[in-house]
């Protein structure tokens, strides 16, 4: 790859997904490289939200069963459409809750300690909210998280060694919860291998897919993963605080969810109004409360693009973008103190690049002043996520040139090296 503007333009001219950029609202005066935190609004997502507002206006309460997208069945309908993104059967996915609510639901269901098998296995690099939820669930079972939450350590502070994870699958582990893609380094864990190793030891295993869904292909059903959960506002562009999703392997459908509620019911019996719950016979049983219809609405439009393009093509462009970014960083920013913490192997690298620098917070502020939107991660991390559906190779080239200018001119020094309230 060439570190030239003309080469970037050539790559864009050859990009079969380039037209999808026009589907999004993009500030052409800036460069948005934070799609792994919050994806941009698409025109289709906007329209599907307006459409559901219209059904409220037109039908009132009858919107639950009328219109193009009846609200009563929307979680299941979106689950079917989302299933190909995670390699699941249609009835194994439901759009519901949020990342942490869904994690609580799944752990409350699958974490059933028995004598001698009482611990949950996680890792020290996972996103904090997952750890908070696991600690809470352990306490609810009457155990001390200090003794019953096992967090596998990283050898280098950035990536996980899968041999270490497997070695930690001891006889006292009842449940495993791991990220599919690490939120800092972007490392992809071998979910298939880890699932096989867990099941060989009679341990249930689930994955947090927040940084992998919409970015890399999955084959959860084929791999035999027990459960998974995720948000839909990053790579899936479902909007801030958008409704999340979860997957439950169909072999577990006869389980009663740990947290049951109004929408856990079978659809045909929900309004019988009995005090004895008859759970849905699929992933729908893992819903709890009434769906947040307007938080689900943008996902309708967004998913149409993913199902048009397919995850294989999205992944192909994503890898091309991040490879080009790595090439430019090496060519243009060598000697400025940046350290790339991603795996270099393409089969182990997710959809973003993670840099470390001692002046990371002020560098991010300087980038924003240049209208480049990165993501700062305390204490010294910079995440850059060129997204396949709306970022161009020209975006990547321009961002690196602006970063180089900031470092050459030391303009970052005019800012405080301290994160904002929201990093």
Dist. CA 233–CA 212, nearest whole Å: 12
CB 79 within 8 A of CB 303: no
- Domain map (residue ranges) of the chain: 5-32+310-414, 47-308
CB 90 within 8 A of CB 153: no
Angular region, 140: left φ>0, alpha ψ -120 to 50, beta rest: alpha
The reported pLDDT for the residue numbered 54 is: 97
Local confidence pLDDT in tens for the 423 residues of the chain: 787 899 999 999 999 999 999 999 999 999 999 999 999 999 999 999 999 999 999 999 999 999 999 999 999 999 999 999 999 999 999 999 999 999 999 999 999 999 999 999 999 999 999 999 999 999 999 999 999 999 999 999 999 999 999 999 999 999 999 999 999 999 999 999 999 999 999 999 999 999 999 999 999 999 999 999 999 999 999 999 999 999 999 999 989 999 999 999 999 999 999 999 999 999 999 999 999 999 999 999 999 999 999 999 999 999 999 999 999 999 999 999 999 999 999 999 999 999 999 999 999 999 999 999 999 999 999 999 999 999 999 999 999 999 999 999 999 999 988 877 776
Dist. CA 405–CA 357, nearest whole Å: 16
Q: Please name the fold of domain 5-32+310-414.
A: 3.90.1150
Binding site listing? 99-100, 127-130, 208, 211, 233, 262, 290
The reported pLDDT for the residue numbered 423 is: 67
Other beta carbons within 10 angstroms of residue 80's beta carbon come to 18
The reported pLDDT for the residue numbered 1 is: 73
The reported pLDDT for the residue numbered 254 is: 87
How is 61-82 classified by DSSP, letter by letter?
GGGGT-SSS-GGGHHHHHHHHH
What's the alpha-carbon Rg for the chain, to the nearest Å?
A: 22
Q: Which residues pair with 422 in a beta bridge?
A: none
In this structure, CATH architecture of domain 47-308:
3-Layer(aba) Sandwich (3.40)
Binding site listing for pyridoxal 5'-phosphate? 99-100, 127-130, 208, 211, 233, 262, 290
Dist. CA 174–CA 172, nearest whole Å: 6
The reported pLDDT for the residue numbered 407 is: 97
- Full strand arrangement of the beta sheet holding 381-384: 339-340, 353-356, 381-384, 375-377
């Amino acid at each position: 790859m060439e570190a030239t503007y003309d080469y970037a333009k050539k790559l864009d001219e050859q990009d079969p997904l380039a037209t999808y950029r026009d589907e999004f609202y993009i500030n052409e005066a800036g460069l948005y490289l934070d799609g792994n935190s919050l994806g941009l609004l698409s025109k289709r997502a906007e329209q599907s939200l307006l459409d559901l507002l219209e059904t409220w206006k037109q039908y009132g309460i009858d919107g639950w069963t009328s219109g193009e997208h009846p609200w009563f069945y929307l979680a299941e309908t979106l689950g079917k459409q989302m299933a190909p993104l995670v390699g699941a059967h249609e009835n194994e996915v439901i759009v519901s809750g949020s990342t942490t609510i869904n994690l609580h639901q799944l752990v409350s269901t699958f974490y059933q300690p028995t004598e001698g098998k009482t611990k949950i296995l996680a890792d020290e690099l996972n996103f904090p909210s997952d750890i908070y939820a696991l600690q809470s669930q352990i306490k609810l079972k009457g155990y001390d998280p200090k003794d019953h939450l096992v967090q596998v350590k990283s050898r280098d502070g950035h990536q996980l060694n899968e041999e270490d994870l497997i070695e930690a699958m001891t006889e006292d582990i009842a449940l495993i919860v791991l990220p599919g893609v690490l939120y800092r380094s972007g490392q992809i864990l071998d979910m298939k291998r880890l699932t096989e190793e867990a099941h060989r030891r009679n341990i249930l295993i689930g994955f947090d897919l927040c940084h992998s869904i919409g970015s890399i292909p999955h084959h959860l059903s084929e791999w035999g993963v027990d459960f998974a959960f995720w948000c839909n506002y990053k790579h899936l562009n479902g909007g801030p605080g958008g409704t999340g999703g979860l997957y439950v392997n169909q072999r577990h459908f006869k389980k009663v969810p740990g947290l049951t509620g109004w929408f856990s019911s079978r659809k045909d019996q929900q309004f019988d109004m009995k005090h004895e719950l008859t759970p849905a016979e699929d992933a729908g049983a893992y819903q709890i409360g009434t769906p947040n219809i307007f938080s689900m609405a943008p996902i309708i439009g967004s998913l149409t693009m993913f199902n048009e393009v397919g995850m294989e093509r999205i992944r192909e462009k994503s890898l091309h973008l991040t490879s080009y970014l790595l090439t430019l960083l090496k060519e243009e920013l060598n000697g400025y103190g940046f350290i790339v913490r991603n795996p270099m192997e393409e089969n182990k690298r997710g959809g973003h690049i993670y840099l470390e620098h001692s002046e990371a917070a002020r560098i991010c502020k300087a980038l924003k002043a240049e209208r480049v939107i990165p993501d700062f991660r305390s204490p010294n991390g910079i995440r850059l996520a060129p997204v396949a559906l709306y970022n161009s190779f020209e975006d990547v080239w321009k961002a690196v040139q602006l970063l180089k200018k900031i470092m050459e001119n030391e303009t970052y020094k005019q800012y405080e090296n301290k994160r904002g309230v929201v990093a």
